[in-house]
A and B are shown apart, each in its own frame.
Chain A
Amino acid sequence: MHTDISPQVRMANEIAVQFRHQAPELAAPAIAEHIQAFWEPRMRAELLRRIETEPDAFDPLALAAARLVRR
C-alpha cells in the first residue's frame, strides 16, 4: 500500500477516484477545476511535470484532468 509515488500524483489519483461516477468528459474538467481552486501553483507545476515524466503513475481520469490544469 505504501508507495513512493509523488504527493501530487497520489492526491490527483485520490481526487479522480471520487469523480469516477461521472462521465469522463464531465469528470476531468471538474477535477481540474478542483485542483485549480485548491492547489498552490508549485504543486500544479509539479503535477504537470509528472505528466511528462511518469504518466503511468496516473489514474487515467487523473491524467486526463491533469492535462487540463493550468500552471
Chain B
Amino acid sequence: MSLLKEPDLGTPAKDGPATVTVEVDGLPVSVPEGTSVMRAAALSGIDIPKLCATDSLEAFGSCRLCLVEIDGRRGTPASCTTPVAPGMKVTTQSPKLEKLRQGVMELYISDHPLDCLTCSANGDCELQDMSGVVGLRQVRYGYEGANHYEEPTDTSNPYFNFEASKCIACSRCVRACGEVQGTFALTIEGRGFESKVSAGGTDFMSSECVSCGACVQACPTATLQEKSVVQLGMPTRTVLTTCAYCGVGCSFKAELRGTELVRMVPHKDGGANEGHSCVKGRFAFGYATHPDRVLTPMLRESIADEWRPVDWETAISYTATKLREIQARYGVGAIGGITSSRTTNEEVYVVQKMIRAAFGNNNVDTCARVCHSPTGYGLKQTFGTSAGTQDFRSVAQSDVIMVIGANPTDGHPVFASRMKRRIREGAKLIVVDPRRIDLVRSPHIAATHHLQLAPGTNVAVVNAMAHVVLTEDLVDRDFVAQRCEGFDEWAEFIARPENSPEAVEELTGVPAEELRAAARLYATGGNAAIYYGLGVTEHSQGSTMVMGMANLAMATGNIGREGVGVNPLRGQNNVQGSCDMGSFPHELPGYRHVSDDVVRGVFEEMWGRDLVAEPGLRIPNMFDAAIEGSFRALFVQGEDIAQSDPNTKHVTAALAAMELVVVQDLFLNETAKFAHVFLPGTSFLEKDGTFTNAERRINRVRPVMPPKTGKHEWQIVAEIAQAMDYPMHYDHPSQIMDEIAALTPTFAGVSFDKLDKLGSVQWPCNDNAPEGTPIMHMDGFVRGKGRFVQTPFVPTRERSTRKFPLILTTGRILSQYNVGAQTRRTGNVAWHPEDVLEIHPHDAEVRGITDGDLVTLASRVGETSLRAVFSDRMPVGVVYTTFHHPVTGANVVTTENSDWATNCPEYKVTAVQVGLKNPPRPQDTAQTGELLPAMAD
C-alpha cells in the first residue's frame, strides 16, 4: 500500500456509550461523555488545527492553536482540553479564530529554522502542515530576534537524533515518555523562552531513556527524527506486519522507500501494542540485512571441513538422502527435529508435519521446552489448555497485579508500559522475585509488596499465600463451588501447618507478615491478575508452580473476566504459536495427545500417512539419546541450542555425536559449528504468514521484501519432505493455515482473509467465537471444571555448597534478545556490549573483587569468565547474568537439572563460585561475539 498515515483525532478515546450529542460547524456528532471537543470534531470529519495534541496523549492545552468558539461561552477555549456537553454548538473557523491561530504560528515560526526544503521531515512535519492550514502568509516579528538556532544536535542515540534547534517545546515527547512509555526520562528544563526539552540534563544516551521511540513518534517536527530517515529520506509506502522479537507481538508499519526499509513505526490499530513499541521492535531490525547473513545453502561431510556452497536442489536432495540413509541404518526413530519460535505458524506446522508424516516419528520439539513447557503442562492440568487467560488490554481493569518471576520492563517492555500505566492509576503491585527488578521501584511506581524470595522457593511461597487465603477464610466459595473440582482435598493439603508463611519463612527468606499481607491483598483487593515469566517455569518445580498459581487464582475467583487471570509472558515472538502448532513430541496441533486414536485418525486421513501413537523425544532426551548412540540426525529450525540450552558441554557433545545436523537459520550460529547442512532462512521481513503472541493473538506477518535466499522456509521443508517421498506441496502459506484450521478446532475460524479483514484474532476462533476469544474460561473452563492440584514444595537438588556457595540465576535485558544473534548485529550493542555478572558488593568484597574486575564463574559442570558489576538488586548470596553473548557462554555453567514434568531446564538455580580472574586474556578484552573460550579451555 502507499504510505499509511493513520488519522490523529487529537485526544484519546473515552469509554462508554455515545450519549453526548454536539454540533460542530453545524454537523451533529454523538460521543461518549468526557470526549474532547477536538476529538468530537475529528469524528465528525472536521480537523481542528493542533500542534501539542495527539490522540496517544492526554490533552495538554499549550499550543493554543486549537482554539474554538462555543455558543454561549466566553472567549476561545482550547478544543483539546474542553470536554463536550449536551447541545454544545462549536465553531471551528471564523475570522477571529483565524487571526488568533496565525498569531500563534507567527510566534512559532519566528524561532524556527526555515530549512524546510532540506529538512529530513519535509512532507511529514506538522508545523509545516499547520502553517498551511492556518494560512500563514507573514511573520511580522522577522527572524532576527532571539532564537534557538544554535542549539546543538544530540546524536548520541544510535537510532535517532535530537535536533534541539527545531524544537517547538510542545512537550509531546516529554508526555509520551511519561504517559505512554512510563519512563519519565524527559523533562522541560528552564522557563519561558529558555524552556527546552532535556533528557535529565545529559544527552539521550547517558540518560534514563530506554529508546522506545515514543518521543520520536510523538514529535510533530524533525526535532526527534530517526537517523534512517535523515540518511535515506522519507518512506513512501507501508507494509503492515508483526514484530519478530518478544511474545508481546507488536504490530508495525514497515515503511519503505522503494525496496529499502526506512523505519518501523508501531501501528495504532495493533491489538497487542496499540501504537507503542520498544527499542528492539522499533529500531533493531538491521540484522535482517546484516552482511553476516548466509544466503546460499551449504554442505560439508564433516564438521572439520570447510563449508561448500551449493544450489537448493543439491542441498535438499543431500539432506533427504542422508536422513533416509540414517533411518535405514539406525531405525525410524534415529532422526528428529526442533521447530522455531521465531518462525511463523505456517513454517512451524510444516516442520512438525514433515517429522510426523515424512520422518515417521514424533521426535519433534521446540524451544518452548526450555522456557514455557511447564506452562503447557500446568495450565492444561488445571484449566484444560495451554494458554494465558487474558488479552493484554485486560490489565487496565486490574486492581492488583502480581508479577512473579518476570521482568516485564526488560523482557516485555510494551506490555510493561500498559501495566505501569495501570499502576500509576492506582492498581496495587506485588512483585515476587529474588531480584529487585525495576518494577519494584521506578518513577511513579512502587510495589506494595516485594516478596524477595530465595531462588528455588516459588512453590513454598505460592502455597503459603494459598494457605493464608484458605485459613483466613478469603476463598471465593461460590466460584469454587460452581466452577471447580478437587477443592476439598486441596484445602486439606494447603491448610497443613507446614504450608504456613511462618513455617516457610526461613526457607524462602520472605517475612511471614509480608507474605500474609500480600496474600490478603491478592484475595481481597478487587480484580487480581497474575503475570509470570521464566522465573516461574525454569525450575525443577516449574510445572508445580504453574499449578500453584492456578490454584490461587481459582481459590480467589480471579479467573474468567477482565482484569484477572493467570498469564504467561512468553519469551519469543511465536512461542505460543509454535506450541499451538503441535511442536511438542506428545501433542498434535491444538494440544491433543498423539495417543488419541480419533484425533490421530483425522490427521492420518488429511496427511495420508499412518502416524505414531507414542510420544517422541524431547530436546534433552534427544541429546541423551545422541550421546548414547540411538539418535543420529537432527533438523534444527531457527534455534541456537548450542548457546541457549543448559550444560553446553553436554549439548555440544550430543551435536558432535550425530551423523547429520541440519541447521536452518539466518546466521552461522553456535549450533551451525556442528552442522553438516546449512539451509539459509528468511528474516521476518521476508516471511509471509502468522505469529501468535502471548495473549493468543494471531497476527499477520507480511513480506516487506522477497526472500533473500530465493525460497520461503516452508517451501524448503516441503521440498525435503517430497524428496523423502512424502508428498507435501503448498502454493501459498494461506493454504497451510487453511489446513491448520481444518485440523484444529481452536483455529477452525482462522484464515488469512479473516486476519486481513479484522487485523487479528485471538484463539479459540471458531463457530462459537467467529471473531476470537480475548478472555478465556468466562463461562466454564476448557476442561469443564477447573481442577485444584496439590502442589507440595520439593526443594531443588541444586544446593549451595562450600565449593559452590553462591546461587546463579540468569535472565535477559531490554536491549538484547535471547542468544543475541539478532540484537548483537544491531546498534543495540551500544547498551550491552557484553554479558556481565551482577554481584552483591558484600559477596564481591569477601572475594577481593572490585567493580569491573574480570572474574571466573564456575559450577560443577563448567566454568566461564566475565566482568563483575556491583549490584544490590539481588540478596547476598545470589549472582545474576544474561546469556546474550556466546563469548561468555553462560550456559557453560548451567546444569542438567530440569522441571520434573517437562524437562524444562532449571536455569534459575545453579550453585556457583565466583573468583577473581587474573590476568585478563587477550580475548577477554576484545570480544568478537563468536568464540566460546570456556569451551575451548
Instruction: Select one of A20, A34, A41 contacting B614, CB under 8 A.
Output: A41
Q: Are B615 and A40 within 8 A (Cβ)?
A: yes
Q: Are A40 and B614 within 8 A (Cβ)?
A: yes
CA distance A18 to B902 in the complex (A): 13
Q: Does B901 contact A (CB under 8 A)?
A: yes
Q: Nearest CB to that of A12 among chain B residues?
A: B900
CA distance A37 to B615 in the complex (A): 7
Q: Does B595 contact A (CB under 8 A)?
A: yes
Chain B neighbourhood of A1, CB < 8 A: 797-799, 801, 860, 911
Contacts A14-B540, A15-B900, A21-B790; A37 near B586 (Cβ below 8 A): yes
Q: Does A7 contact B (CB under 8 A)?
A: yes
Contacts A1-B799, A21-B493; A40 near B790 (Cβ below 8 A): no
Q: Nearest CB to that of A2 among chain B residues?
A: B860
CA distance A11 to B902 in the complex (A): 10
Q: Are A37 and B595 within 8 A (Cβ)?
A: yes
Pick the interface stretch among B9-17, B337-345, B616-624. Answer: B616-624
Contacts A40-B333, A40-B363; A18 near B541 (Cβ below 8 A): yes
**How big is chain A's contact interface, by range?**
10 to 19
Q: Are A37 and B593 within 8 A (Cβ)?
A: yes
**How big is chain B's contact interface, by range?**
35 or more
Chain B residues 780-795 with CB under 8 Å of chain A are 790, 792, 794
Chain A neighbourhood of B535, CB < 8 A: none
Q: Are A18 and B544 within 8 A (Cβ)?
A: yes
Main SS at interface, chain B: loop
Instruction: Select one of A17, A22, A43 contacting B900, CB under 8 A.
Output: A17
Min CB distance, B138 to chain A, in Å? 79
Min CB distance, A50 to chain B, in Å? 13
Q: Does B705 contact A (CB under 8 A)?
A: no
Q: Are A18 and B792 within 8 A (Cβ)?
A: yes
Q: Are A38 and B586 within 8 A (Cβ)?
A: yes
Q: Are A7 and B624 within 8 A (Cβ)?
A: yes
Q: Are B616 and A40 within 8 A (Cβ)?
A: yes
Chain A residues 1-54 with CB under 8 Å of chain B are 1-2, 7, 11, 14-15, 17-18, 20-22, 34, 37-43
Our count of residue pairs bridging A and B at CB distance below 8 angstroms stands at 63
Query: Which of A2, A18, A39 gathers the greatest number of chain B CB atoms within 10 Å?
Result: A18
Chain B neighbourhood of A18, CB < 8 A: 541, 544, 792, 794, 900-901
CA distance A63 to B624 in the complex (A): 21
Instruction: Select one of A2, A14, A22, A43 contacting B621, CB under 8 A.
Output: A43
Q: Nearest CB to that of A18 among chain B residues?
A: B900
Chain A neighbourhood of B618, CB < 8 A: 38, 40
Chain A neighbourhood of B903, CB < 8 A: 11
Instruction: Select one of A2, A11, A42 contacting B625, CB under 8 A.
Output: A42
Q: Does B585 contact A (CB under 8 A)?
A: yes
Q: Does B741 contact A (CB under 8 A)?
A: no
Q: Does B630 contact A (CB under 8 A)?
A: yes
Q: Are A21 and B792 within 8 A (Cβ)?
A: yes
Chain B residues 783-817 with CB under 8 Å of chain A are 790, 792, 794, 797-799, 801
Q: Does B20 contact A (CB under 8 A)?
A: no
Chain A neighbourhood of B935, CB < 8 A: none
Q: Nearest CB to that of B585 among chain A residues?
A: A40
Q: Are A15 and B790 within 8 A (Cβ)?
A: no
Chain B residues 614-669 with CB under 8 Å of chain A are 614-618, 620-621, 624-625, 630
Chain B neighbourhood of A42, CB < 8 A: 333, 625, 630
Q: Are A15 and B615 within 8 A (Cβ)?
A: no
Min CB distance, B819 to chain A, in Å? 25
Contacts A37-B615, A38-B615, A40-B363; A15 near B333 (Cβ below 8 A): no
Q: Does B42 contact A (CB under 8 A)?
A: no
Chain A neighbourhood of B493, CB < 8 A: 21
CA distance A1 to B801 in the complex (A): 10
Q: Does B288 contact A (CB under 8 A)?
A: no
CA distance A40 to B621 in the complex (A): 9
Chain B neighbourhood of A7, CB < 8 A: 620-621, 624, 896
Q: Nearest CB to that of B792 among chain A residues?
A: A21
Q: Are A34 and B625 within 8 A (Cβ)?
A: no
Chain B residues 483-524 with CB under 8 Å of chain A are 493
Q: Which 8 A-B pairs have the closest CB atoms?
A: A21-B792, A14-B900, A7-B624, A40-B617, A18-B900, A15-B900, A41-B614, A17-B794
**12 additional contacts (CB under 8 A) given A20-B792, A43-B621:** A1-B798, A1-B801, A7-B620, A7-B624, A21-B790, A37-B593, A39-B621, A40-B333, A40-B621, A41-B614, A42-B333, A43-B617
Tell me the B residues contacting A by CB distance below 8 Å: 333, 362-363, 493, 540-541, 544, 585-586, 593, 595, 614-618, 620-621, 624-625, 630, 790, 792, 794, 797-799, 801, 860-861, 896, 898, 900-903, 911
